[in-house]
Amino acid sequence: MNKFDQLNSILLIDDDESSNFLHSIFINKLGLDIEINTALNGQEGLDFIMNRGLEKLSLPCMVMLDLRMPVKDGWDFMRMYEEQVPQELKKQLTIVLVTVSDNPQDKERAAANPHILDYAQKPLSDSTFKKLIEKHFNLKEIV
């Protein structure tokens, strides 16, 4: 199910700044002209989405959400997202859960959540990002 014809921004929600940095490099290697924003926990990520929505600024098309974070983890983010984010904003977002967890319960919980459209195991690579972007957006072959 492709939701968008154009990918213009990605929000990386991960407390590991080095992961955010590496993921930004991988995304940039794909040669796409997109904005990359980062948040260090679920609360920052939700605030970013809500502020963008309220100010009528462009939302991130894709949210790469880590599970294990301080303050508000990925599951806390999803609970707040379901409760607080208006439906019209939810329709614009593709959420991909990104984690080092190999816990089958996390995978099952992600699959059962209608807002989580994919699940990716860390460490990610440029080819992982390429596959995720091609899968969820109307983009044919990326570089």
The per-residue pLDDT for range 5-56, each reduced to its tens digit, is 567 899 999 999 999 999 999 999 888 888 999 999 999 999 999 999 888 7
Q: Which residues are CB-neighbours of 2 under 8 A, at least 6 positions away?
A: 136, 137, 138
Query: Quick check: 108 pLDDT over 50?
Result: yes
Query: Quick check: 3 pLDDT over 80?
Result: no
Write down the pLDDT at residue 8. 85
Write down the pLDDT at residue 2. 39
In degrees and rounded to multiples of 5, residue 129 shows phi and psi of -60, -40
Write down the pLDDT at residue 57. 79
Q: Coil, strand, or helix at residue 134? A: helix
Write down the pLDDT at residue 35. 93
Write down the pLDDT at residue 143. 53
Query: Quick check: 4 pLDDT over 90?
Result: no
- Tell me which of 141 and 67 has the higher pLDDT: 67
Look at residues 3, 43, 46, 10 and name the one whose alpha carbon lies nearest to residue 139: 3
**Mean pLDDT rounded to a whole number for the chain:** 89
Write down the pLDDT at residue 87. 93
Can you list the domains of the chain with their CATH numbers?
9-136 (3.40.50.2300)
Instruction: Tell me what percent of the residues of the chain surpass a pLDDT of 70.
Output: 92
